[in-house]
Structure 1
Amino acid sequence: MHKFLIVFVIGTLSFSISKAQKESTPNGWHLMDKDSTGYYGVSANKAYSFIKSKNLKSKTVIVAVIDSGIDTLHEDLKPILWTNPKEIPGNGIDDDHNGYIDDVHGWNFLGGKDGRNVKEDSYEAARVYHDLKSKYEGKEKGDIAPKDLAEFTMWQKAKANITGEGKEDAGIDIVILKRLLANMQKSDSTLKVALAKEVFTGTELNSFIPTEPAQKTSKNALLGLMKANNQLEATNKEFMEGFAEYVAGEDKKEESKNTPPPTYRADIVKDDETNINDRFYGNNDIMASTPMHGTHCSGIIAAVRNNGKGMDGIADNVRIMMVRAVPDGDEHDKDIANAIRYAVDNGAQVISMSFGKDFSPQKQWVDDAFRYAESKNVLLVHAAGNDAKDVDTEDNFPSPVYINGKGRAGNVVTVGASGDPKNGGLTASFSNYGKKEVDVFSPGVKIYATLPGGNTYGNLQGTSMACPLVAGIAALTLEYFPNLSAKQLKYVLENSTQKPDFKVSKPGTEDMVNLSDISKSGGIVNAYAALKLASTLKGERKIQKEVLPKPKLVKTKKG
């Protein structure tokens, strides 16, 4: 799963801290207009002025958010949740006969019939490595039948990923890392007492004058780490939680070298994971216990506008359909494929997908779902990922490039994350990029939006935030120009970007490049420009005939 986190470096170590690295851009900067405010946002107010000047009327657009869950009780989201018109809530009956009981606001493909839900899961690399180890361990390429070569190559890559084989840096010593975390936790506890507060920023710590040797040692240790990672504006709570999360992830990776990962999903969902036609599994709990990521993404798209609460979404007439398929860990291809099909079958016109991984063992299933969405004129918007890597040359799934080598999906927009010169630069330091595979950039640094808690808001960042902003602009465009096809929406988004007239940082490096060197469009999405361009097009939206053979849906005893 692409985390909504930023990567920092401590010598040879790296870990993740959530939230913004600086506080110099205001909440909602991502919606602002550069010419009138100086911030490199998407010109939302200008877009609505254009709509008003043209006397345009909106049509409701359903946007599916395939994610971790959503706070269905949030004050800014409750009014804009999609409601299945054919389903009677809470009666335990599949009223609309779509195979999913009481799917009132969406569906949870990470749930069990008994009401339990998958929270965490393993990494796909570990699953691939251990699932295929007995088949390929000790074999060379010459031993492999042609039909198995692609799978063997994938297994070799997974093996290198898990074991560190062939890498100059075989990984971080987990013992040293745990010791460092323990020392930082001790320092944090000492400083809480010394400052007489549970939460403090790095800036506050920097101004603190110790009165005891232990305080001085603790200050130097924690402050040194925060300074090294440019995190003086972060709180100790944010910093320590991010460090602990990183260490836990590295510990899990270390354990996976010799031990197959736990079967988190299988133990709860209990479907036949080898059968894509076994589709009717899960439950209707779309909040579950992990709604943070999906709640934030949904607010970016469609939080109620102009209600005086929290923040405004980009689109003003959208219904959010939550399809829960992304755990704390790597998502499963089957769940993503079925989530896309569910969204399409239930009327979604745009699908926001803020997740991703380096391996896709059942990519054909996802490819088929992409084709299905394209046949129904549904636009897929996907986060490019947060590894500061070139996805033209390194894998990032799901990918619009079909695994059989026969072309690519024409309805997919892949999104990198931009920022502002005042909060770290026009390109986010963590964003993946690619001249061929990243279509556009979109604000993804210090994005203020809804958080779980009913009336809670906060800043998160990542391509996970940039993606729903693009999905929201696509939905806004479709609201007022409903006859545009998915391919036309893609055309509009890519050809209405605002192109900077200066070089930008290539993420993960000190190189300065043109934005066109690291993305297809060479620009940052803009709602106003998108609507202007859309107004010049003649709509081509029509539902094509099914281009795929209809799967034979098999209801097993398990689901």
Structure 2
Amino acid sequence: MKSNRAMAVMAGGIVLMTALTTNPSYAQSSVTPRNWHLLNYAKDSVFGTGVEKAYTELLKGRKSSPILVAVIDSGIDTLHEDLKSVLWVNPKEIPGNGIDDDKNGYVDDVHGWNFLGGKDGRSVKEDSDEATREYYRIKSLYGNPDSALDKQSKEYSYWQKLQGKVARPSGESKVTYKTMLKLQESLRKCETLITGYLHQNDFNAAKLDSIQTADQDVMVAKKFLLRIFENTGEANLTYSELKSEFEEYLTDLKKKAEQADNDAPVDKRTDIIGDNVNDINDKYYGNNDVMGQFGFHGTHVSGIIAAERNNGVGVDGINNNVRIMMVKAVPDGDERDKDVALAIRYAVDNGARVVNMSFGKGFSPHKEWVDAAVKYAEEKGVLLVHAAGNDGSDNDEVDNFPNPDFADHSERANNYITVGASGSGKNGKVASFSNYGKKNVDIFAPGVQIYSTVPGGNKYGSASGTSMAAPVVAGVAALVLSYHPNLTAQQLKYILMKSATPLPDGTTEVTKPGTPDVKIPFAELSISGGLVNAYEALKLADSMDAHKDVKEKKKKKAKLEAVKKG
């Protein structure tokens, strides 16, 4: 689930293309601390998680246990200065000898495994979305499904749903793409004017705001770009970063627009990986390259959880006694059910206590495979943490896979937490893009302007999304486990949910995600109705342990008394 800056550019650009002659206020919001998600409202006036407060007031001098967190994602920069010391190292594998030393079926899986890899070292970078794959699968089976399928059947209903996701949106993407090309042209003109005036190639909102000139063209460009920056909500963002993400969005939009006129998408997976994607038992594929060239997302997510604390560089992760296992299964596009199912099983089999899953999609043709893996994790006591999605949608009404509801209608998984994204209060209270749901989203966590590790030479950067909120919860879960390692996954979830807190400034109503101004009680956005709170979670875990100790002492005392009487 990618950053939402490009969407902000789009939204701001559309507004400005029709309203450049107006005179709105361009005041920038207060600067949000880069580590705001670790802070707390009482001291720092941001809606953070109280992690730093916990270390200062609850954890000083206490011993912790190392916790292994698996990150199922796009890859990780194994050479990053803030991550290389926290990477999981498979103790049963001898690096680089080309032998499956631990006999788990995966050769040289030193830091994890790459389910997107081929035997020749290549990896799948891009894949189509699941809706498109399913649309063409059904179409190839029936030729004309509209006439071949029984109108009352579940399959026809499924086909209609696919049409709504693929055929119609592809046509809409054509229109949007044309609009965005016009916006891109406007951005280029403004960029030329501003860089020419400043005599420098890059700039940020503060630099723009300082421009004062009688040149009306420059001032119009300044206003245009300031509104774009304002819509991102990121005070430290540079134009080059914003431009890069917009161009990535434009490339993706172009693909969707072209899909309307094309046949089924090209299958690169078969050529690179060579597995039978429809056979879950064909599971020993991939390679050990968990780094590759495509690991921005996974590197950023991993840093939120585990970037080395107090080392004087970069950022601090949430847990100071954690190891990260990277399980690469998420391409640029929708992940495959088979890869997700096997990734969960790999993480569980190799000792992960928490699994972070910052990905999702609207269709799951082999949900039973993923369900079986979720049940397996549940049996082994492993907590799964999943991002709610970035569509501003109600997950009670819109499908978001994977999820804890089993296709066979058996009891819902109770080792599963779905996470929505909140803001710092200075950059919004609830992320406008976040999915929500009183029945299907468990909790909210910081997910706007989260500063973390990025790949390519010890770099750092901000990103927004429920993809960032999920690892905040995974990190807090791992932190609680570090000091209470005997907790079950169900107990851990209970603690996180029970200790979730309301918005700390007393706000009860927020703007409903996906709407411009509809108000809704914050408590109605999730099951817990609150924000994850590391400080309160640790306090609750401590009290539960203390209560347990008292009960154990009473039991021992009763036994001793019984022995004396006997």
TM-score where L is the length of structure 2: 0.87
Partner of 1:321: 325
Partner of 1:104: 110
Q: For the residues of structure 2 that align with 1:153 and 1:128, how far apart are their CA atoms?
A: 13
For the pair 1:357 / 2:382, whether they are aligned, the reply is no
**Mapping 1:57-456, distance limit 5 Å:** 57-136=63-142, 138-140=144-146, 143-144=149-150, 149-164=153-168, 172-208=175-211, 222=225, 226=229, 234-259=237-262, 260-423=264-427, 425-456=428-459
Give 1:140 deviation, angstroms: 4.9
Partner of 1:3: 2
Task: Work out whether residues 145 and 159 of structure 2, in 8 Å CA contact, stay in contact via their aligned partners in 1.
Answer: no
Give 1:215 deviation, angstroms: 5.1
Partner of 1:39: 46
Give 1:185 deviation, angstroms: 2.7
Give 1:462 deviation, angstroms: 1.1
Q: For the residues of structure 2 that align with 1:126 and 1:295, how far apart are their CA atoms?
A: 28
Evaluate the alpha carbon distance shift between residue 150 and residue 265 of structure 1 in structure 2; reply closer, same or farther with a 3 A threshold.
Answer: farther
| CA shift digits 1:240-260 (9 cap, x unpaired) | 223222221211111222321
Amino acid at match of 2:40: D
Amino acid at match of 2:247: A
For the residue of structure 1 that corresponds to 2:426, the secondary structure is: helix
Q: For the residues of structure 2 that align with 1:464 and 1:528, how far apart are their CA atoms?
A: 22
For the pair 1:507 / 2:513, whether they are aligned, the reply is yes
For the residue of structure 1 that corresponds to 2:53, the secondary structure is: helix
| CA shift digits 1:234-292 (9 cap, x unpaired) | 43212322322222121111122232112132221111111011111111111111111
Give 1:452 deviation, angstroms: 1.4
Task: Work out whether residues 234 and 449 of structure 2, in 8 Å CA contact, stay in contact via their aligned partners in 1.
Answer: no
| CA shift digits 1:96-122 (9 cap, x unpaired) | 000101000001111110001111221
Amino acid at match of 1:160: G
Task: Work out whether residues 31 and 235 of structure 2, in 8 Å CA contact, stay in contact via their aligned partners in 1.
Answer: no
Give 1:458 deviation, angstroms: 1.9
For the residue of structure 2 that corresponds to 1:164, the secondary structure is: helix
Q: For the residues of structure 2 that align with 1:191 and 1:485, how far apart are their CA atoms?
A: 57
| CA shift digits 1:373-419 (9 cap, x unpaired) | 11111000001111111111011111111122223211100001111
Give 1:150 deviation, angstroms: 4.1
Evaluate the alpha carbon distance shift between residue 113 and residue 306 of structure 1 in structure 2; reply closer, same or farther with a 3 A threshold.
Answer: same
Evaluate the alpha carbon distance shift between residue 495 and residue 317 of structure 1 in structure 2; reply closer, same or farther with a 3 A threshold.
Answer: same
Give 1:449 deviation, angstroms: 1.4
Q: For the residues of structure 2 that align with 1:320 and 1:173, how far apart are their CA atoms?
A: 40
Unaligned runs of 5+ in 1: 15-20, 540-559
Unaligned runs of 5+ in 2: 16-27, 547-566
Which has the larger displacement, 472-481 or 257-266? Answer: 257-266
Evaluate the alpha carbon distance shift between residue 12 and residue 126 of structure 1 in structure 2; reply closer, same or farther with a 3 A threshold.
Answer: farther
Partner of 1:27: 34
Give 1:456 deviation, angstroms: 1.8
Amino acid at match of 1:393: E
For the residue of structure 2 that corresponds to 1:116, the secondary structure is: coil
Q: For the residues of structure 1 that align with 2:363 and 2:372, how far apart are their CA atoms?
A: 17
For the residue of structure 1 that corresponds to 2:351, the secondary structure is: coil
Partner of 1:520: 527
Q: For the residues of structure 2 that align with 1:390 and 1:264, how far apart are their CA atoms?
A: 33
Q: For the residues of structure 2 that align with 1:229 and 1:74, how far apart are their CA atoms?
A: 27
Amino acid at match of 1:526: N
Q: For the residues of structure 2 that align with 1:27 and 1:412, how far apart are their CA atoms?
A: 29
Q: For the residues of structure 1 that align with 2:41 and 2:231, how far apart are their CA atoms?
A: 31
For the residue of structure 2 that corresponds to 1:364, the secondary structure is: helix
Which has the larger displacement, 215-224 or 496-505? Answer: 215-224
Evaluate the alpha carbon distance shift between residue 436 and residue 351 of structure 1 in structure 2; reply closer, same or farther with a 3 A threshold.
Answer: same
Partner of 2:18: none
Amino acid at match of 1:523: G
Evaluate the alpha carbon distance shift between residue 323 and residue 187 of structure 1 in structure 2; reply closer, same or farther with a 3 A threshold.
Answer: same
Amino acid at match of 2:89: T
Amino acid at match of 2:202: V
For the residue of structure 2 that corresponds to 1:450, the secondary structure is: strand
**Mapping 1:512-551, distance limit 5 Å:** 512-537=519-544
Give 1:12 deviation, angstroms: 9.7
Q: For the residues of structure 1 that align with 2:180 and 2:104, how far apart are their CA atoms?
A: 49
Task: Work out whether residues 484 and 538 of structure 1, in 8 Å CA contact, stay in contact via their aligned partners in 2.
Answer: no
| CA shift digits 1:58-99 (9 cap, x unpaired) | 111110000111111111111111000000000011010001
Evaluate the alpha carbon distance shift between residue 455 and residue 247 of structure 1 in structure 2; reply closer, same or farther with a 3 A threshold.
Answer: closer
Evaluate the alpha carbon distance shift between residue 400 and residue 221 of structure 1 in structure 2; reply closer, same or farther with a 3 A threshold.
Answer: same
Evaluate the alpha carbon distance shift between residue 360 and residue 316 of structure 1 in structure 2; reply closer, same or farther with a 3 A threshold.
Answer: same
**Mapping 1:49-64, distance limit 5 Å:** 49-52=56-59, 56-64=62-70
Q: For the residues of structure 1 that align with 2:121 and 2:170, how far apart are their CA atoms?
A: 44
Task: Work out whether residues 173 and 257 of structure 2, in 8 Å CA contact, stay in contact via their aligned partners in 1.
Answer: no
Equivalent residues, number: 528
For the residue of structure 2 that corresponds to 1:488, the secondary structure is: helix
Q: For the residues of structure 2 that align with 1:310 and 1:58, how far apart are their CA atoms?
A: 23
TM-score where L is the length of structure 1: 0.88
Q: For the residues of structure 2 that align with 1:444 and 1:393, how far apart are their CA atoms?
A: 22
- Structure with higher Rg: it is 2
Q: For the residues of structure 2 that align with 1:362 and 1:12, how far apart are their CA atoms?
A: 39
Task: Work out whether residues 170 and 260 of structure 2, in 8 Å CA contact, stay in contact via their aligned partners in 1.
Answer: no
Amino acid at match of 2:534: A
Q: For the residues of structure 2 that align with 1:69 and 1:165, how far apart are their CA atoms?
A: 30
Q: For the residues of structure 2 that align with 1:373 and 1:151, how far apart are their CA atoms?
A: 31
Task: Work out whether residues 185 and 240 of structure 1, in 8 Å CA contact, stay in contact via their aligned partners in 2.
Answer: no
Evaluate the alpha carbon distance shift between residue 390 and residue 217 of structure 1 in structure 2; reply closer, same or farther with a 3 A threshold.
Answer: same
Task: Work out whether residues 417 and 462 of structure 1, in 8 Å CA contact, stay in contact via their aligned partners in 2.
Answer: yes
Which has the larger displacement, 58-67 or 221-230? Answer: 221-230
Give 1:153 deviation, angstroms: 2.9
